[in-house]
Homo-oligomer: A and B are copies of this chain.
Amino acid sequence: MTGPRAAIVVTGSELVRGERSDLNGPFLAREALRHGLEPARITIVGDDPRELEAALAEALTAEACLVSGGLGPTHDDRTVEMLARAAGVPLVLDRALEREIEAVSRATAERLGRPYADFAPGVRKQATRPEGSLSLGLAGTAPGLVLRTSGGCVAVVLPGPPAELERLWPRALETEPMRELLSRTRPPGRRVLRLYGVSESAVARALEEAGGDGAGVEATICARDLEIHVDLVVEPGAEARADALEAAFVPKVERWLYGRDERGVEEHVLALCRARGFTLATAESCTGGLVAGRLTSVPGSSDVFVGGVVSYADDVKVRELGVPASLLAAHGAVSAEAAVAMAHGARERLGADVAVAVTGIAGPGGGSAEKPVGLVHLHATSPEGDLGRVLSLPGDRASIRARSVVAALHLVRELLTRSREEAV
């Protein structure tokens, strides 16, 4: 990558202390990349003025400096003051901006039943900005701004709440300094390959055997809950090289390839059901509702997904899914037999065409020599046939559950992409 460098500065005491995960840095990095800038670093600092000024001064050596947070009305919110200092420009009070913030603050004061005088100093502070900067308008009472420094860096300052930051960002892109900067970039292409059922190292080897990355094509291979995500970032001019790499790589991994876009497996499952006119139900034990939760995260899933049973207790497996108590006594609740009975029970009881069942031991307790923590049985059933699988998953409770969810959804995907002949 050879685009202009973008340095990202995120401020927030709770972020630098690790009390909360930062979302703004990754958002701004993805946006920078998409517009042909090279995200060089993300720096997270608290409200200590020296740390903040140092981080901003470093970031201003890049072609773009994208800053989030520290725009509030209190004395701890020092981003604008420190940016002006780092850029070597004076602060000026923007009267028009002051009136704009005053209107919002008066409404807030009224709603809270407090005198406006409490707010006035904060309003003045928030209406003060570096000379020569452009206001992006308000999100809440915090104004975003863009400043081109004498050193040629375009600094964009946005409020910390992610929704507000994301709302003002498009306005920053439309300012003259950003348009001028982006006129010099050549946004890269991106190709996405999604695989399941293969190891990260096998994918890395296949990619290497296909010619590997380099020469304008940069590959990242990422393992996420049993899926392998391969992304190719393609510089302008390297499209033919990327085509050749893909053409050599895809046949080596075709067996495991399930997607060439960013849709999650739950979206694939819903689309496959929808295409056949099938409805879908779930029966979950160790995943405790997370398979259903993942399916219903997709807007409009209700035309396919009818519902599910979280059968945590054996008694609920019997009552709600019709699993025979004798089967549970003979094989245990974590068994292939129980998974089959749960899937069939969900299909019948909930009146669905397709159903998937998960039963396993998520730990940390409940394991035995015969049935250790991480043992998970899955079963999927459809009018076209059935498919079962047993997994032995490493990791802690959260990771075993997350992987079981992904595996259950892929089992349905596989069942619905097999032909009738293949399905058992």
Q: Which positions in A face B, CB cutoff 8 Å?
A: 13-23, 25-30, 33, 39-46, 48, 51, 55, 58, 112, 163, 201, 218, 220, 222, 231, 279, 282, 284, 286-293, 295-297, 299-302, 305-313, 315-316, 319-320, 349-351, 363-365, 395, 397-398, 401
Contacts and interface: CB of A to CB of B under 8 A. Distances in A.
14 contacts: A15-B26, A20-B222, A39-B46, A41-B55, A43-B43, A287-B296, A289-B290, A289-B292, A289-B310, A299-B365, A299-B397, A306-B312, A306-B313, A320-B349
Contact of A16 (B41, B58, B312): B41
Nearest 10 CB-CB pairings of A with B: A288-B296, A289-B289, A18-B29, A18-B26, A289-B292, A307-B316, A306-B313, A18-B30, A42-B44, A308-B310
Chain B CB within 10 A, most for which of A286, A287, A313: A313
B39 A17 contact: yes
Count the copies: 2
A33 B14 contact: no
Given A26-B18, A310-B309, A365-B300, A48 B39 contact: no
A313 B320 contact: no
A350 B22 CA distance: 40
Contact of A310 (B20, B44, B307, B313): B307
Contact of A289 (B20, B25, B29, B284): B284
Contacts of A297: 288, 397-398, 401
A299 B297 CA distance: 24
Nearest to A199: B112
